[in-house]
């Protein structure tokens, strides 16, 4: 990466979910670096609260955008604003929600469909809107949770959605070209200290820890990666561990050989 590309002053950054608790810390971090930060949200109240919480930041520029990026029209609105504001330096998807319900055998199919439709499909649309707006040596970063890697009882609909999101990211990486941004999926594998969870011990990872890791990736990393980040009681420091492939090289050769044979 060229030296001037490490600087974020006056660069345009999108933080989808930037009005959330973790997203606010990411937005704050980019503003402190002098970036112009576009935060789309369908909630006027959340955008207003975000602006209030960031009043102490004198650097950068917050660009609040009231639009629903879970819809086609909302994505079009966001894309139009990006084109108006200039070249996009980085984009972060910090959109997330929680779901808990009955077991796999009891949860209604309609409920699973609702969760997938409300979380996975918007992520697909977001990537299709943001990645074409990002050029080489820029960054796209997706935040995810441990459910993308590990099944836990009674959160099946959310876990399937998280697993689908990380699978989509893997395909984005597999299909990446020299003209696409560097893609990172950052899996948070611990509880996170935020405004609403200040009772957690200070040993847990914080929103600021995550924000600073994202800053490091944007300014220092030049690779596609799926990695985990987390910290809890007993940990000495924030961990950042690439996830190894779960498929052997021989099996991959066999798979691609099968695709080739099919034409």
Which residues, including other chains, have CB under 8 Å from residue 18's CB and lie 6 or more apart? 24, 26, 27, 37, 39, 40, 41, 50, 92, 94
The model carries a pTM of: 0.91
CA 104, CA 129: separation in Å to the nearest integer? 33
pLDDT digit string, tens, across residues 13-29 = 999 999 999 999 999 99
Q: Which residues of 34-70 are buried (b: 16+ CB within 10 A; e: fewer)?
A: ebbbbbbbeeeebbeebeeebeebeebebbbbebbbb
**pLDDT-above-70 percentage for the chain:** 90
Per the prediction, the chain carries an average pLDDT of 91
Show the tokens assigned to 236: 């000495």
Q: Is pLDDT above 50 for 74?
A: yes
Task: Give pLDDT, residue 248.
Answer: 74
Model pLDDT for residues 230-244, shown as the tens digit of each residue: 988 877 667 767 666
List domains and CATH numbers for the chain: 3-262 (3.40.50.720)
pLDDT tens by residue, 102-131:
999 999 999 999 999 999 999 999 999 999
Amino acid 254: pLDDT? 73
Yes or no: say if 238 and 215 are a contact pair by the CB < 8 Å rule: no
- Lowest-pLDDT range of 53-57, 58-62, 128-132, 235-239: 235-239
Round to whole Å and give the CA distance between 155 and 243: 23
Q: What is the mean pLDDT of residues 143-158?
A: 92
Q: Residue 160's pLDDT is what?
A: 96
The pLDDT assigned to 23 comes to: 96
> What pLDDT sits at residue 182?
97
Q: Model confidence at 219, in pLDDT bands (50, 70, 90)?
A: very high
Per residue in 175-209, pLDDT (tens digit) is 999 999 999 999 998 889 888 777 888 888 999 99
């Amino acid at each position: 990466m060229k030296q001037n590309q490490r600087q974020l002053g006056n660069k345009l950054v999108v933080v989808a979910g930037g009005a959330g608790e973790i997203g606010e810390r990411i937005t704050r971090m980019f503003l402190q670096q002098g970036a112009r930060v576009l935060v789309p949200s369908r909630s006027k109240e959340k955008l207003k609260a975000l602006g209030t919480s960031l009043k102490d930041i004198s650097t950068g520029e917050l660009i609040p955008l009231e639009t629903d990026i879970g819809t086609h029209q909302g994505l079009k609105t966001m894309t139009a604003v990006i084109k108006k504001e200039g070249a996009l330096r980085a984009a972060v998807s910090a959109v997330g929600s929680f779901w808990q319900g009955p077991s796999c055998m009891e949860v209604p199919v309609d409920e699973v469909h609702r969760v997938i439709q409300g979380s996975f499909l918007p992520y697909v649309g977001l990537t299709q809107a943001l990645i074409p707006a990002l050029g080489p040596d820029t960054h796209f970063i997706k935040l995810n949770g441990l459910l993308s890697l590990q099944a836990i009882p009674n959160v099946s609909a959310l876990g399937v959605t998280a697993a689908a999101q990380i699978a989509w990211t893997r395909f984005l990486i597999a299909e990446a070209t020299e003209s696409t941004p560097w893609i990172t999926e950052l899996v948070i594998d611990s509880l996170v200290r935020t405004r609403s969870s200040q009772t957690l011990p200070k040993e847990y990872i914080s929103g600021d820890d995550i924000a600073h890791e994202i800053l490091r990736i944007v300014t220092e990393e030049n690779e596609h990666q799926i990695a985990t980040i987390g910290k809890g009681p007993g940990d000495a420091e924030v961990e950042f561990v690439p996830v190894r492939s779960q498929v052997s090289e021989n099996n991959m050769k066999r798979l691609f050989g099968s695709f080739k044979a099919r034409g």
